[in-house]
């Protein structure tokens, strides 16, 4: 399943709904602290490169973003009943990991070319060991090809966060770079 229009009005509407429903719940249960969110440009194509430890990371990043993020997620997540429909309603599109997925690359470039924020987990997968992994080239590739800035966002605390064990979570953003 692929998102047809990366920047459609329905995705933006759903993003607003999510920020007012899922967002507050996420912020409360993660005891979220945020630093440097003002560094995210409010307009124009943008690549947001995040690290990734836990399933709560996308809602945490999304809950504090000043603009909608079009995330790329593994195709397996799109196939989970209920979850797949939910993430697609927010504009998330799929990637087939471990192979050349030209459609995913085309979608990444289109999102940025259309002036939207593309959210990528720079390691390509969750790092279950609690230590950031090797960064994959996708975020840099899209930013270079589309002439867009990259803003790195680091999340800390979700490597130990679990429902019922609500350790505080922090997110810090770097300066935009080209």
Helix (H, G, I), strand (E, B) or coil at 125: coil
User: Quick check: 99 pLDDT over 90?
Assistant: no
User: What is the structure's pLDDT at 5?
Assistant: 43
Given a cut of 80, whether residue 7 has pLDDT beyond it is: no
Cα separation of 42 and 30, whole Å?
25
Q: In what helix (H) or strand (E) does residue 94 lie, and over which residues does it extend?
A: strand 93-95
Instruction: Give mean pLDDT, residues 33-43.
Output: 96
pLDDT at 68: 93
Q: Which range, of 43-57, 133-147, 164-178, averages the lowest pLDDT?
A: 133-147
Provide the pLDDT confidence category of residue 93 given band limits of 50, 70 and 90. confident
The pLDDT, as a whole number, for residue 8 is 63
pLDDT(158) > 70: yes
Q: In this model, does residue 1 exceed pLDDT 60? A: no
pLDDT band at 6 (very low <50, low <70, confident <90, very high): very low
pLDDT confidence tier of residue 4, bands split at 50, 70 and 90 = very low
pLDDT at residue 138 is higher than 60: yes
Mean pLDDT score, 57-73:
91
Q: How far apart are CA 64 and CA 62, in angstroms?
A: 6
Name the phi and psi angles at 73, rounded to 5.
Answer: -135, 155
Beginning with the edge strand found earlier in the chain, give each strand of the sheet holding 46-50 in spatial order. Answer: 33-35, 170-173, 150-156, 46-50, 117-121, 69-74, 93-95
**Percent of the chain scored above 70 by pLDDT?**
93
In this structure, how many other beta carbons lie within 10 angstroms of the beta carbon of residue 175? 10
pLDDT at residue 85, as a whole number: 85
């Amino acid at each position: 399943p692929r998102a047809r229009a990366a920047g459609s009005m329905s995705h933006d509407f759903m993003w607003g709904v999510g920020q007012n429903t899922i967002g507050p719940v996420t912020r409360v249960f993660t005891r979220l602290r945020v630093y440097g969110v003002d560094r995210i440009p409010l307009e124009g194509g943008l690549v947001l490169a995040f690290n990734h430890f836990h399933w709560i990371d996308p809602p945490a990043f999304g809950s504090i973003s000043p603009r909608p993020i079009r995330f790329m997620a593994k195709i397996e997540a799109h196939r989970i009943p209920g979850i797949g429909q939910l993430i697609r309603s927010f504009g998330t599109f799929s990637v087939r990991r471990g192979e050349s997925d030209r459609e995913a690359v085309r979608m990444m470039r289109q999102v940025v070319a259309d002036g939207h924020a593309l959210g990528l987990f720079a390691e390509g997968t969750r790092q279950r060991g609690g230590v950031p992994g090797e960064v994959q080239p996708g975020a840099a590739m899209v930013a270079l090809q589309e002439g867009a800035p990259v803003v790195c966002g680091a999340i800390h605390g979700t490597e130990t966060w679990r429902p019922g064990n609500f350790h505080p979570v922090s997110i810090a953003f770097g300066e935009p770079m080209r």
